[in-house]
Amino acid sequence: MKQKITAYSFVVVQFACLIYIFVSGGFLAESINGLLVEVAGLILGISAILQMKLGNFNVAPLPKSGGELVTSGVYSLIRHPMYLAQLLVVAALTVDYYSHARLFAVLLLFTVLVFKLHFEEKQLKVQFDGYEEYMQKTWRLIPYIY
């Protein structure tokens, strides 16, 4: 029960940050560079969801029972591409429609996603025998950095 409360607490804060960013400014970046970053984030996110398959997907950082570990496609490089996709989209929007509150929301979102992915990886290690080996071959969130 405690794991579910923790997992859904991450989701609540994550969605609160995303909602704030989307309602406090535009949905599309104004600059060409911002738009390119935003589109890259959208493409990455859609690709990650399609590769994960909807039946295997869970918004909470709790693996679905009977789920399968996806290690191909974008997941062959990054373990949490959907989180990176969110950060790319909101970073572009925050730069183009800057406010201190939006910057705080992006920093809070980044922090929550880092804690969420660490929590999720603990669950994935338990559910999937090959997860630790997969961790050795991939980047957690940002290729060549983290």
Q: pLDDT tens across 39-91, in order? A: 999 999 999 999 998 778 888 999 888 889 999 999 999 999 999 999 999 99
How sure is the predictor about 137, in pLDDT bands with cuts at 50, 70 and 90? very high
Q: pLDDT value at position 8? A: 95
Q: Which residue has the tokens 């859609």?
A: 46
What percentage of the chain carries pLDDT values higher than 90? 88
Mean of the pLDDT values across residues 127-140? Answer: 95
pTM: 0.93
How far does Cα 95 stand from its chain's mean position?
19
**Per-residue CA distances from 77 to 1, 5, 69, 104 (Å):** 32, 30, 14, 29
C-alpha distances (whole Å) from 30 to each of 15, 17, 97, 101 are: 23, 20, 8, 19
Please give the single-letter amino acid code of residue 128: F
pLDDT grade for 4, boundaries at 50, 70 and 90: very high
Chain Cα centroid distance, residue 96 = 21
